[in-house]
Amino acid sequence: MTKTENNGVMEAVISLCKRRGFIFQGSEIYGGLAGTWDYGPLGAELKENIKSLWWRRFLTSRNDMCRVDAAILMNQNVWKASGHVSGFSDPLVECKKCQHRFRADQLDATNKCPDCGGSLGEVKQFNMMFQTHVGAVQDESSVSYLRPETAQGMFVNFKNILDSLHPRLPFGMAQIGKAFRNEIAPRDFLFRAREFEQMEIEYFIRPPKDENDREWEKVFAHFVSEVKAFTSDVGLNPEKVHELEVSDGERAHYSKRTIDFEFDFPFGRNELYGLAYRTDFDLKQHSEFSKADLSYYDEETKERFTPHCIEPSFGLDRTVLAVLTDAYTEDELGGEKRIYLKLSPSVAPFKVAVFPLLRNKPQLVEKAQQIFKSIKKEIPATAFDDNGNIGKRYRRQDEIGTPFCVTIDFDTIEKNAGVTVRDRDTGKQERVTEAELVEFFKKKF
Ligand code: ATP
């Protein structure tokens, strides 16, 4: 696809999201608030499905992880210890003529304003944390920040987890929650927002005994394959997912190894997730700044040490964007152009939609309601749709990515001939008996 076609895909996805109730611009009726997005009913379902798959893979299907849900507002010293107060910044440059601001590292070498061609001022470091004050007094001591990542909420609870659950190494803490970054240039829809959600894991392991102890590499490799497995859980095309080994010079100073998982978005290949071996940097920093003892005592070996940490970090909204852009499809069906979302049933907001063939025939509506209720009992993400004619319903369900539509017609009632089930991707219909219906879907999913 050409670049223009790809930009066309972004526009088409954004417009579908608004038209069908997936995602809206934040504060839209007031002209919006840059870098914020509101999830509508369908988007919220899609996002929830992604979260459930994540919890299933990284929490409930294993026995070495615990879930936490830490506060967004934290003591300002957390961010001093983590290095965010001094170092969480992007280079900012302002045009002397139009006063527009840009990220200096994203401009070309001409050093001219991309908006008006004016000359640019000096580069300054801009801290991306949203600052606020806690309580009625606004002074230095009341400063707090909206967390720019969920990770620190786990490190600061490390001791609480040890004291309350007594887990044995290796073990992980997992969290899903909001993060906030005052990005200089929010862009590309959900890709770079100012308010977004992260799904993060801090996985604690024994420190290496010496330079030759490469045990950590096994855990790292395990998470490489688990991250990839998760991208297929949500239905992403594996050919669009790439691993990028971050070089020594580009890694954060505390990381001994980092892999970025990139995805082929319509606007280019960009970071989707990250995996980093953070060593004992975070626990050591918090020990030093808080004076709390964040070491671990091994009952078996009678040793005390500070564990090392491997961190898989996932952007939830970037996952939503990857899933939507990957699923967006235009084709022709029955001689007509159509748009549909080829969503995996695992993430689709609705798995099945049930219709009466005609909405003004009470016997069809009644039967359709009865079948709808019996499917919904087993497959909760089932919709009932009797708006407009059948063609419009198919188009609507295709656009929101519903894998199967069930139609109740006169043969269902008069000849006991079952219902028609239409497959979203092929448009093909087959008759399935009422008794076999739920089993039929369960097999498909
Ligand atoms: P980038 O280089 O794209 O700014 P990052 O390396 O700063 O990302 P991390 O700090 O590693 O990102 O954050 C972990 C994950 O959070 C990212 O892989 C991404 O999925 C997500 N993320 C980070 N910043 C944003 C943002 N502004 N909007 C949406 N998601 C984000």
Beta strands 171-180 and 143-146 are unpaired
To test the pocket of ligand 1, the residue of 196, 257, 270 to mutate (highest count of ligand atoms within 8 Å of its CB) is 196
Ligand 1 midpoint to CA 148 (Å): 10
Mean pLDDT, contiguous 10-residue spans, the chain (445 residues): 69 97 98 98 98 98 98 98 95 93 88 92 94 95 97 98 97 98 96 98 97 96 98 98 96 94 98 98 98 96 97 98 98 91 98 96 96 97 94 95 97 93 96 95 93
Residue of 79, 176, 175 whose CA lies nearest to 128: 79
Note the pLDDT of residue 253.
87
**Closest protein CA for atom 10 of ligand 1:** 149
Q: Which atom of ligand 1 is nearest to the CA of 319?
A: 20
Alpha helices in 273-419 (DSSP H): 281-290, 316-327, 362-378, 390-399, 410-414
Q: What is the phi/psi pair of residue 279, to 5°?
A: 50, -140
Note the pLDDT of residue 334.
84
Ligand 1 midpoint to CA 179 (Å): 10
To test the pocket of ligand 1, the residue of 36, 265, 269, 271 to mutate (highest count of ligand atoms within 8 Å of its CB) is 271
Q: Is the dihedral of CA 300, 208, 306, 178 positive or negative?
A: negative
Note the pLDDT of residue 109.
83
Ligand 1 midpoint to CA 327 (Å): 22
d(CA 174, CA 51): 12
**Predicted TM-score of the model (pTM):** 0.95
Helix (H) or strand (E) holding 72: none
Query: Contact 408/371 with Cβ under 8 angstroms?
Result: yes
Note the pLDDT of residue 125.
93
Note the pLDDT of residue 111.
83
The answer, yes or no, to whether any atom of ligand 1 lies below 6 A from the CB of 201, is: no
Residue of 208, 214, 128, 176 whose CA lies nearest to 312: 176
The answer, yes or no, to whether any atom of ligand 1 lies below 6 A from the CB of 156, is: no
129 CB contacts (<8 Å, ≥6 apart)? 79, 84, 85, 88, 145, 146, 148, 180, 181, 182
**Closest protein CA for atom 1 of ligand 1:** 271
Give me the domains of the chain, ranges plus CATH numbers. Answer: 3-74+147-324 (3.30.930.10), 350-444 (3.40.50.800)
360 CB contacts (<8 Å, ≥6 apart)? none
Note the pLDDT of residue 1.
54
Note the pLDDT of residue 18.
98
Query: Contact 236/322 with Cβ under 8 angstroms?
Result: yes
